[in-house]
Amino acid sequence: MKLSKSHVGWWASIVAGIVFLIPHLRDISTILGPLAPYMVQPSTPDGLNPKLLGLWYEKYQYPQRNGVVGFEGTTEFFRNRTYRINGLLKSTTFFPVPLSPYTTIYNFDGNGEWQASDDELVIKLLSVRMRVASRLLAGMTLKIPDTSHPPSAEETELEHGLLMAQSQRYDIRSTKKNEVVLETNGLFADSYRINMTRTKQMYMR
């Protein structure tokens, strides 16, 4: 699609604003939920809820400042109380200009530790790798560098921001053989739910 000079001007101003906003992108999350510290530990003798063991698929979104964050992927909970998360993280920001919204999609791989009782789950991310998979401006795909390149300042900032979080607590609303429903707090004193469905296949991008 060919852009007019005025549209190019809008695009340049938006990109400049996005670069300015990079330090504030820590609203982004994964199954961690928003980056809010929790120091509580689940009240269970060994911290292991066997109903959560295995590989789970989830797809959800929640509001962030001037936009929404979405995640689609899988999380696997292991018996040694570690977990792995893999998928696509999508951050969309809405601007009061014609060329809006602006969306960045990241390949997300992380792992950490988890503890759970019958009523609550607490997880902590210990390592994470985020790489930009694509960018969209008003529905148009923008060219991005080869994903094999070293992490950019934006990617490094996001990774460090996620690792600075303490732990995230979830209320376990229901557990079935093939479905678990979690609920946690959002960024704006709200709450949102995550429906996890048991699967046998790791999420493939």
What pLDDT digit, counting tens, does each position of 16-48 carry? 333 333 434 445 444 444 434 444 455 555 779
108 near 71, Cβ under 8 Å?
A: yes
pLDDT at position 108: 94
pLDDT at position 3: 45
Q: Classify each residue of 100-118 as buried b or exposed e, where b means 16 or more C-beta atoms within 10 Å of its C-beta.
A: bbbbbbbbbbbbbbbbbbe
Compute φ and ψ for 176, nearest 5 degrees.
-125, 175
116 near 42, Cβ under 8 Å?
A: yes
203 assigned to some structural domain = no
pLDDT at position 170: 94
Torsion of CA 81, 62, 132, 74, to 10 degrees: 40
Per-residue model confidence as pLDDT tens digits over 65-78: 889 999 999 999 99
Compute φ and ψ for 50, nearest 5 degrees.
-65, -20
Which domain, by its residues, includes 129?
5-198
149 assigned to some structural domain = yes
Three-state DSSP state, 26: helix
Integer CA distances (angstroms), 46 to 51, 117, 141, 163, in order: 14, 9, 48, 25
Per-residue model confidence as pLDDT tens digits over 168-193: 899 999 999 999 999 988 666 578 89
Residue 205 CA from chain centroid, whole number: 15
pTM: 0.75
92 assigned to some structural domain = yes
Domains contained in the chain, number: 1
204 assigned to some structural domain = no
Q: Is the pLDDT of residue 79 over 50?
A: yes
pLDDT at position 189: 57
159 assigned to some structural domain = yes
Q: Please indicate whether residue 28 or residue 94 has the higher confidence score (pLDDT).
A: 94
Angle at 111 between CA 190 and CA 134, to 5 degrees: 75
88 assigned to some structural domain = yes
- Listed residue (33, 63, 37) closest to 164, CA to CA: 37
15 assigned to some structural domain = yes
Mean pLDDT over 90-112 rounds to: 89
pLDDT at position 36: 41
β-bridge mates for residue 108, sequence order: 87, 130
- Listed residue (110, 114, 140) closest to 29, CA to CA: 110
84 assigned to some structural domain = yes
